[in-house]
Amino acid sequence: MQLESEALGASADEPPASPSGCSPDLQRLADLKTFRSPGRGFWRDVPERDWNDWHWQLRHRITTLEQLQRLMPTLAPEEIAGTQLANHKLALAITPYFFNLIDPADELCPIRRQVIPRVEEMNLAPWELTDPCGEDAHSPVPGIVHRYPDRVLFLVTDRCAAYCRYCTRSRLVSNASGYDFHPDFDRQIEYIAQHPEVRDVLLSGGDPLLLSDEKLEQLLARLRAIPHVEFLRIGTRIPIFLPQRVTPELCARLRRFHPLFISIHTNHPRELTLEARAALERLADAGIPLGNQSVLLRHVNDDVIVMRALVQKLLLCRVKPYYLYQCDPIAGSAHLRTSVARGLEIMAGLRGHTTGYAVPQYVIDAPGGGGKVPVNPEYVLSRNRDRVVLRNYEGRVYEYIEGASPAPAYKRSENFDAPEFD
């Protein structure tokens, strides 16, 4: 289906050439991997300078039902009801740039499902949680989450350029539910300075790249000045929601704080536009290693071809697919969650079928604060002291003999029978 914004002058790279007579899957993959610009859409009369100004984009975000209905008369009743309730749960906000990626004619549009509230968000299951990762219980100081031994999460703001309907931190971001988050950088930095085991600090939020250049630089400089902090990271969705923010000036400031890594968050290949690719290239050119975190979402990316296109397109943008998260059981997210079995099928459709660098680690963040647990399709069919029986990506079975290993120091039991894995 043609996007309305394409009809309004959006541009695209040439789709990658596909061999004549290629399968429908290959054709679909090539189409999903084509870099397009969403164009100006409803903002076609806005001067170029304003459109490319990240402050302008933030000032003109869609934040009310009235704005949304004016721009998108095709809103479904479930979306209208969801938007009416959003300001008490997780606010509505969409940048004009990102809004133009939505297909108004498709209620299942994967971009639309991520940012337009639906009334199903009000359905709460007993096992759903407002803080599924148990962050508040691991927070010694407001804005610091210390859950793993050698690293901390440093929350810098509760604001994002746009709000994802499945956000695991929706109790906090946008302040719609009255969490009233106020970071105190002095206390947060003091905590890190007093904990020499902390060698890795991940700035997150909310979105740290919404801070001004000056404020971000000051914060990074203070963290860099702590001798035991080896490694800085920023988690951000800015290159996807607001690529205009990734200015050459910002990149020039960030490059002073290496080793500095950035984790972006992308769920569907359509989010990787010409503009997003250019923003990511600016960051990569500043020497910043880039990784991506995706959340597995129903009718967004729970499809092998979509996920294959996403991970391959990320590599084209010089971004390593890092994690694929099973969607946390955040309150009101059942309509966006998909099964772990589906996640495993998708992983099996990536491993071996595409470049190893393109394969993320599938993880479940153990509810209640257990941390990330890797989940993999089963490739080890059985194992005993002498041999491992393996299944490869094509389903063929192979044996790895361990006979050459040094003899174990213990006496083998007469009835030795190594456990088998299903």
Residues forming contacts to ligand SF4 in the complex (CB under 6 A) are 160, 163-164, 167, 169, 173, 205-207, 237, 265
| Residue 109 falls in the annotated catalytic set | no
114 φ, ψ to 5°? -80, -25
| Residue 70 falls in the annotated catalytic set | no
Strands laid side by side in the 144-148 sheet: 144-148, 151-155, 200-204, 231-236, 260-265, 290-296, 320-326, 361-366, 371-374
Indicate which residue of 61, 89, 113, 169 is catalytic.
169
CB closer to ligand SF4, 219 vs 297: 297
Q: How far is the CB of 317 from ligand SF4 (least distance, A)?
A: 18
| Residue 327 falls in the annotated catalytic set | no
Q: How far is the CB of 157 from ligand SF4 (least distance, A)?
A: 10
**Cβ atoms of residues 273 and 37 within 8 Å:** yes
Q: How far is the CB of 338 from ligand SF4 (least distance, A)?
A: 17
Residue ranges of alpha helices (H) inside 116-199 are 185-193
Indicate which residue of 28, 53, 136, 147 is catalytic.
147
CB closer to ligand SF4, 169 vs 308: 169
Indicate which residue of 44, 148, 150, 386 is catalytic.
148
| Residue 398 falls in the annotated catalytic set | no
Residue ranges of alpha helices (H) inside 151-230 are 185-193, 213-224
CA 319/CA 360 separation, integer angstroms? 11
Q: How far is the CB of 176 from ligand SF4 (least distance, A)?
A: 11
Which residues face 132 on adjacent strands?
none
CB closer to ligand SF4, 116 vs 226: 116
**Cβ atoms of residues 313 and 33 within 8 Å:** yes
Tokens 């500095």 belong to residue: 260
CB closer to ligand SF4, 234 vs 359: 234
- Number of other residues whose CB lies within 10 A of the CB of residue 389: 15
Indicate which residue of 164, 251, 317, 327 is catalytic.
164
| Residue 215 falls in the annotated catalytic set | no
CB closer to ligand SF4, 173 vs 309: 173
Active site residues: 147-148, 151, 160, 164, 167, 169, 328, 365, 372
